[in-house]
Amino acid sequence: MMGNDPLKILQVSNRVPYPLNEGGTIGIYNYTRGFFEAGCSVTLFALAAKKHQINHKEAAEELTKYCAYHVYPINTDVKPVPAFLNLFTDKSYNVERFYDKHFEDELTNHLHENSYDFIQIEGTFPARYSSTIFANRKNAKVVLRQHNVEYQIWERLSKNSKNPLKKWYLNLLAKRLKRFEQQHLNQYDALVPVTVDDGDLFKQLGCTVPVFPSPAGIDTQLWNISPKANNTAIYHIGSLEWMPNVEAVEWFIEEVWPLLFAQFSELKFHVAGKGMSDDFKSKKHPGVEMVGQVESAVDFIEDKGITVVPLKSGSGIRLKILEAMSAGKVVISTTIGAQGITYTDGVDILIADTPEEYALAFERLKNEPALVKSLTTNARKLIEETYSNQSVVNRLIAFYKSL
C-alpha cells in the first residue's frame, strides 16, 4: 500500500458467504462488506461446497457489490472409503476434504497476476492452501482469521459422546486437527481469533506471531429492536448441519424443556435452522415447533422475546447471541455458548448450565418484569459500543496498518 491508496485485501474462504443463514457465513460476509465500506479494495476467493445448495446467481449479485468475486465448486461430503483410508495416515480428514487441485491452481495464477497488501485466510479449512499462498504472495502480509479453535470443538464432542466407538473417532479427529492447527500457527504474519479466549489458547499452543482478537460484527440497523416481542415465545436458531447445535437442541428438548413446560405451560419453543434432518423435524414434544430452515432470520425472531443457546460443545463466538442482543431479545445461554463475549451475567445475559438453572432463569423473568427491560437495554448497549460491524472492521484495519 502506497500513501493513501486503498488497502488491497484478498479473502480466501472455504464457503460462499451468502445467503446469510449461519454464523460463519455472516461473519465472513460482514468483513467483506465492512472492508469495502471502509474504502478497501476487496477480492474474495471462495469454495462452494455442494451440500450447501447455494443459489449462485443471488450470491454473485450480492457479493459483487462489495468485492471481485471468484467461486469454485467442491464436494466436501464425507466419503466412506476416503474417510476409512485416512485412518491410516496422519492427516486431518476434516481439513483434507477441502482440498481441490483446480482451486489451488486458480489461486496460484491469480496471485501471479495480482498484488495485495493483505491476504486474510478465513479459518482452519482454507488454511490447507497456506503453502500455496505463501509461495506466491509477493509482498502481502498473510493473516489467519481463526473462526474457532476447531480441535476444541471435536474434543468437547468426544467428551460428551456416550458411544465408545464414536468417542474414539471424534477424539482422533480432534488430535489431528490440533496437530494441523498447531503446526501452522507461526507461519502467518498475524493471527486474528474471534475471541480473547481463543487467542490465549493459541498462545498456549506456542503461537508467537502478533495476535489480535476481532469478533464478527453486527449490522445494528438490520438487527433492531422489535415492539412485537412476546416473552412466552422462545427460540433457537442455528445451522443444524453443525454437530454442536444438534447436540445442544437435543439436550435442551430432552433435559430442559420437560422441566420448563411443567412449570410454565404457556411457553412455546420454536427451533429453526438449515439442514434439519427429517428425523429431527419429526420429533414431537408438547409446546415445541420444529420449524426448519427459514427464509429470513430477522422475520423469524421478530415476535419472539427470548432465545436459548444451550451449547455443550463449540468454540469461537456465537453470532446468534450478538444478533439477539442487538434485536432486544433476552438471551439465556450456557457458559460455553456465551464464551468469547464480554458479557456480565444478570446484566446483559443470563447464564444457565443445568436444567434447574434454566428453570430458575425463566422464573426470574416471570417474577421480575424490570429484569427483562434491563437485560435487553444493556445488551443493545453492549452491541453498539463493542460489536457493531463498523467499529469491529475499523479496529482490524488499524491493526493491519500497524503491521
Q: What is the DSSP string of 24-89?
A: HHHHHHHHHHHHHHTT-EEEEEEEEEGGG---HHHHHHHHTTTSEEEEEEE-----HHHHHHHTTS
**184 in a structural domain:** yes
**1 in a structural domain:** no
Is there a single domain that holds both residue 183 and residue 242?
A: no
| Per-residue pLDDT at 348 | 97
Is there a single domain that holds both residue 383 and residue 393?
A: no
CATH of the domain at 248: 3.40.50.2000
Q: What is the pTM of this model?
A: 0.76
The domain containing residue 318 runs over which residues? 230-387
| Per-residue pLDDT at 84 | 64
**396 in a structural domain:** yes
Separation of alpha carbons 66 and 43, rounded Å:
9
**275 in a structural domain:** yes
Angle between helices 319-326 and 369-382 (to 10 degrees): 110
Is there a single domain that holds both residue 237 and residue 211?
A: no
Please tell me the total count of domains within the chain: 2
Where on the phi/psi map is residue 195: left (φ > 0), alpha (ψ -120 to 50), or beta? Answer: beta
Is there a single domain that holds both residue 208 and residue 357?
A: no
Separation of alpha carbons 37 and 52, rounded Å:
27
| Per-residue pLDDT at 4 | 66
Separation of alpha carbons 89 and 93, rounded Å:
9
**222 in a structural domain:** no
Mean pLDDT by 10 residues, the chain (403 residues): 76 93 87 96 93 86 97 83 71 84 95 97 92 96 88 79 86 85 89 90 92 91 88 93 91 96 95 89 89 92 96 82 96 94 96 97 94 96 92 94 93
| Per-residue pLDDT at 206 | 92
**203 in a structural domain:** yes
Is there a single domain that holds both residue 168 and residue 205?
A: yes
Is there a single domain that holds both residue 91 and residue 103?
A: yes
**338 in a structural domain:** yes
| Per-residue pLDDT at 140 | 97
Is there a single domain that holds both residue 146 and residue 169?
A: yes
Is there a single domain that holds both residue 50 and residue 178?
A: yes
Nearest to 182 by CA among 201, 206, 198: 206
Is there a single domain that holds both residue 156 and residue 253?
A: no
| Per-residue pLDDT at 1 | 46
Assign 97 to helix, strand or coil: coil
Is there a single domain that holds both residue 304 and residue 194?
A: no
Is there a single domain that holds both residue 22 and residue 131?
A: yes
Q: Are 270 and 257 in contact (CB under 8 A)?
A: no
**224 in a structural domain:** no
Separation of alpha carbons 259 and 253, rounded Å:
10
How many Cβ atoms from other residues are within 10 Å of residue 75's Cβ? 10
How many Cβ atoms from other residues are within 10 Å of residue 312's Cβ? 18
Is there a single domain that holds both residue 21 and residue 170?
A: yes
